[in-house]
Chain A
């Protein structure tokens, strides 16, 4: 069965520090992977996506993610976190054509 696991429910980092949010997937075929960000009370905004090609993908707001097939992972990274990055982050995989399966989310808190 397809699944997406985000092992960290909450993460706190200091402003200016680096960030890595973990995402592992279980899917038999070639995955199509996404990271979305959700600010409180808002909808989901697409950060980046991986369909094929270069396994390191660049997104908006200075985020990047690396697809590692051997580890079934698609971790999100940012070299220097800003206070405005505090939000909830969702990893998602597409299965069955257009149907998304979301991870449970990671809430990011940024300390000043």
Chain B
């Protein structure tokens, strides 16, 4: 089935040790998003790619970076994780037709623990 896949599902890292989370999609969607969701909170948009165009939210810390090498894959890099970065990280996609409004389809998330 076409879907949004996130690997790994659970990631443990040490304070300050760089970590990369992966997202892939078989939907051939133009737009890919990364959200951070802390416990009992709503998902918070970090950034999104419209095709190759990167769009950063104004309040996303510089510690968070992203790469999209091709349509199918998108990576979230946390350069120096702090304890406050422990959260669920959700990847989502949407078709991204210009001028239209799209549903977002979410992956299962990666739970990041920072020790």
Is residue B51 contacting chain A, with contact meaning CB distance below 8 A? no
Q: Compute how far the CA of A90 lies from the CA of B43 in the bound complex, rounded to whole angstroms.
A: 9
Say what secondary structure dominates the interface of chain A: strand
Which chain A residues have a beta carbon within 8 Å of chain B's beta carbons? 32, 34, 36, 41-46, 49, 51, 90, 94, 97-100, 102-105, 107
Contact code string B59-91 (vs A, CB < 8 Å = 1, else 0): 000000000000000000000000000001010
Indicate whether B54 reaches chain A with its CB closer than 8 angstroms.
no
Contacts of A51 in B (CB 8 A): 101
Known: A103-B42, A104-B41. A45 touches B106 (CB 8 A): yes
B101 in complex: contacting residue of A42, A97, A104, CB < 8 Å: A97
- Known A-B contacts A32-B101, A43-B90; the reply to A98 vs B48 at CB < 8 A is yes
- How distant is B52 from chain A, measured CB to nearest CB, in Å? 16
Contact between chains at B106 and A44 (CB < 8 Å): yes
Q: How far is the CA of A97 from the CA of B95 in the complex (A)?
A: 12
A residues near B4, Cβ cutoff 8 Å: 43
Complex A-B, nearest 3 residue pairs according to Cβ-Cβ distance, in ascending order: A102-B42, A43-B106, A44-B106
Question: Which of B42, B88, B111 sits near A90, CB closer than 8 Å?
Answer: B42
The CA of A87 and the CA of B94, in the complex, are separated in Å by 24
Q: Are A41 and B111 in contact (CB under 8 A)?
A: yes
Expressed in whole angstroms, the Cα–Cα distance for A105 and B94 within the complex equals: 22
Looking at the assembled complex, report how far the CB atom of A90 sits from the nearest CB atom of chain B, in whole angstroms.
Answer: 6
Give chain A residues whose Cβ lies under 8 Å from the Cβ of B105: 46
